[in-house]
Structure 1
């Protein structure tokens, strides 16, 4: 495949426009699909990821049987034929899902009456996912509108050992601790609250031809750390609203593949970016472009890698993405002086890495988060107006500015 091309590095500051809509899931009969691949969408549409979260081995809780999870997620792109992907990537025992439903959340764990619909897996209401495996549901007839609060209810009939999920959801979800309550519209059985997503790692829809998605591969800044919980104020959330509001952009789906504490070169908080690229980005449906914002956790580690080692890793991520037909937008590593692990030697590495991102031409485009959020008087620090207070993570205002700094037209990835 020829290397995809974008316009060369351009940075625009634009104003985000929030657009909210609801979900409509109409009645119909589910079609069949292979358990390990997303089935083909109807001829007029193509599958596009509308929500995603990177998975890891959850240390806060092991896998538990005979409980129902009601997981709340926000869609980006709208479309038909909703599918979910369930992951047991980090499990050491099979997980059997007795039932799975998708509906529109009203408030809390309560659903909009009539919206909760059963999902099937190769026509069956149950599915067992082997350790290390994942499965897509069959497409669910009906329409999902963009910017909807979707409730995915999973009855886990049998499970044990390690659980797979996304630890820092910054979104309250719910557990019915005993039995199958996936079909319940009421919030009554859901007596426990959680702030992680279990097993669910992607939602796709069939969107109009020409519609694509962007994946944001990153660490805690992309994961949304310190942004206000339950308000969808991570910078990829703001970006999703901008893309929806822009009639000229063919990119409508956003897959947030951030993991708090994640590194490019080594495992720790999640597998390294080098290891998880295929699963978290290249496997996602309809992704045309990846925004890569990783490196600060490597740089502030002790011992820290050299700039040359990080640059070589960037080049590997770019090459593998290009081979899959995906463009790569490089995001500069943001200032973090004042954070407890800041050092002059780390700052020197950050400056060298950012020079590579800006000027090497290796990326298809560049978004300069460093330039946008730094304090002009003290450029190794984040401007206080954007700083959450820990000097590493932006606040809600900073998260919105990050989104505004992205040139949304560059994400179209002409030539893909």
Structure 2
């Protein structure tokens, strides 16, 4: 039996996001976010669920830190809710919001856990959306001011910073596909939003450097891996376009200061142009200390005229599926991170999210035997070791998610947690996957 092992300094962690777990949506001066508006709009979220209470982590953060400590993680990735700091997006700082995150950070540090903070995990203040949101370049400066306040408040306490989580979701999923807040369906708008978010990222990196903040800063992109179904030029090109939609469109500007020209041309053929102003690309490509990658799935695609935006249809090859109907494709993790390393060099990589959604049953003994989720983690951990053995600078892994939580447009129907949340009592119950990961962390490996 093969032994899977990891370097001694490998960072094991788990992750959450503010709107998904905190609740307390009207407490201590918090303003409304676009997700409050979206989830309170009938028909936008499964069962008309919302994040008003969520996991109530705003009041139960100490319980959650205790779960993290018991798990044995070195780091915890969470996000700060912009509307808690600036209820109207700009203006006066809400000191009660800062005080809450100070308590969370201090509790983590006291438990020996490093906080890894995401500045923007989708909860844009509604007041800014009312002025155009990320389509309005003024939002860039509002974000930079918000970031500056957070950098100054937590300099020395937080050593790892992520500017944005999944800019593809913020832009295309939310403003072209329309599945997430604010729910628009406009390709040009989505292209604008993607570009402005990336400029905001670059401006935040600039201010981080100017302030001399301790620690490291990067960003997180959600990458997937779509293989061409055949060697035909049509299939190769179709799969590449679809892959570039989530991958190159965001990675090329981040690392090389340019958009892939074939994608610029393709979007232009669909009526959308990138709103680049002088200096934008230099700003976007500010040197970062690490890149975060969220990976969940992949598959195979082939050419089919007028199929979606890219003339590409996905072909099912008998993959196992999660409850999200996503392919279980561990080899895709190896392929996509190998590609990142080959294409963009030796920048350290963290898997900032990876995990699986399955239907969970809480037993009478308050146990959850999530065999499929545990197997999912096991398979992806093996790919992590393959990557490290292959020379890819993979430095850490954050499991998604610590808790079952508000799963965006899926509401509370879909569970990703390694800890079961009873939404009636808000009690937490570690699942078998939690104990598996605990054991992996304790031994820095496992028998495959």
TM-score (norm 1): 0.31
TM-score, normalised on structure 2? 0.29
Question: Which structure has greater strand proportion?
Answer: 1
Q: Which structure carries more relative contact order (alpha carbon 8 Å, separation 6+)?
A: 1
